[in-house]
Amino acid sequence: MDKTQVRKVKIQEAPSDFAFWKSQSYEKRLEALERIRQEYTAWKHGNGVDSDRPGLQRVYRIVKRK
């Protein structure tokens, strides 16, 4: 049996995301942030969340000195 509930509310009556995250422990907030970071990296670089992380990109510019 599916016990999922969905409520439709006006935007002014919607609970605050800030209040929700403020009520969470810092460990839970860091876990959520890390998960979002991993998902973004996977999306940005086109690889799976659990695959190896891409290394830091380095940009070199050769400048001639007089």
- Mean pLDDT for all residues in the chain: 81
Query: What is the domain partition of the chain in residue ranges?
Result: 25-49
Q: How confident is the model at residue 53 (pLDDT cuts 50, 70, 90)?
A: low
Tokens for 53, please give them. 């992380």
Q: What is the DSSP letter of 45?
A: H
| Single pTM value for the model | 0.50
Q: How confident is the model at residue 31 (pLDDT cuts 50, 70, 90)?
A: very high
CA dihedral 46, 51, 53, 54 (to 10 degrees): -40
Sign, Cα dihedral of 33, 38, 43, 49: negative
